[in-house]
Structure 1
């Protein structure tokens, strides 16, 4: 003789067929009413989730929590209850606090790593700025050298005319100094 399903575990649907009772009603061995408050959250195939929630909160507390909430708040509350109870079942000592603690530890590690990276970025920026400054200084020095003229040319055009080589020096004479053609100055010419 085959085993028949218990009547308390069957529901009559609107089209005349039968459906299985929700996990909460199945656990309590009662008929699942069409307006069962826990049926949307604990269908018949989520028995383990219901047992975890029942063990942590209890059916009466769960129904009290979600009874007077708005539909969106009910969804969020039940997601939270199911999550907390599943986590507590997998980690009976720490539960959700273990997850929170691990996430806080990861945040602290990431903050320290971010500070280190920002410090390294600041060092790299300072080095790049220094190299740019040194390059600018080198370019300015180079431009000054290229754009500057020899000393006697740089003194002005009227002074340039005062520096001349005497015309009266002849072939075998060596000139060791330039002479000024200024009448106020006594010029000397060293001849070997």
Structure 2
């Protein structure tokens, strides 16, 4: 940067900003907090060494990563961004498990709704004749299914009762 306005790092470190200041392109004077947090976590000397070892085209990405990690370390000094990543991975796992349970519930409900419809009059006639079993052809698979009716009171079915897994 050089010239009149020193970069944020030179301002914080109270030194003269030179033309070849390695911090100037990444820590402008209008955002002093950015360098302050990186300096607090990593130290100016370490950041300078890291940036000098990198090719010029990778330095901006490195500074972005250092700022992100420094902010994460300020929030969580022990784990930093690894703690945030672990938390998010656990959340994803829990949500995937909840999604699998919800999909299983949907399949279960769809299966219950697709059960073959039995002709009420035929069942009533069979029950009146004392026949407690009835063969029904499944309209979805075309395969006959054996249904056992213990009494005529089974003809009227109660609405589906199910417990929610979300409560």
Q: Describe the SS at the equivalent of 1:102.
A: helix
Question: In structure 1, which of residues 46, 58, 61 is the aligned counterpart of residue 43 of structure 2?
Answer: 58
CA distance in 2, matches of 1:32, 1:48: 17
1:134 aligns with 2:119: no
Structure 2 match to 1:27:
12
Q: Is the 1:49–1:85 contact (alpha carbons within 8 Å) kept by the matching residues of 2?
A: no
Structure 1 match to 2:27:
42
Shift of 1:124: 3.8
Please list the CA deviations of residues 58-100 of structure 1 after superposition, one character each: whole Å capped at 9, or x if unmatched.
1121122121323342121111100111222233344223312
Structure 1 match to 2:107:
122
Residues 37 and 136 (structure 1), Cα distance of their counterparts in 2 relative to 1, 3 Å cut: closer
Residues 125 and 70 (structure 1), Cα distance of their counterparts in 2 relative to 1, 3 Å cut: farther
Structure 1 gap ranges (5+): 1-9, 13-17, 139-192
Q: Describe the SS at the equivalent of 1:31.
A: coil
1:108 aligns with 2:93: yes
Please list the CA deviations of residues 137-163 of structure 1 after superposition, one character each: whole Å capped at 9, or x if unmatched.
89xxxxxxxxxxxxxxxxxxxxxxxxx
Q: How many residues align?
A: 124
Residues 137 and 121 (structure 1), Cα distance of their counterparts in 2 relative to 1, 3 Å cut: closer
Shift of 1:39: 1.1
CA distance in 2, matches of 1:137, 1:54: 70
Structure 2 match to 1:78:
63
Q: Larger RCO: Structure 1 or Structure 2 (Cα < 8 Å, ≥ 6 residues apart)?
A: 2
CA distance in 2, matches of 1:86, 1:72: 23
Structure 2 match to 1:68:
53
Give the alignment's TM-score, normalised by structure 2: 0.61
Q: Describe the SS at the equivalent of 2:19.
A: coil
Structure 2 match to 1:89:
74
Give the alignment's TM-score, normalised by structure 1: 0.54
Divergent runs of 4+, >6 A: none
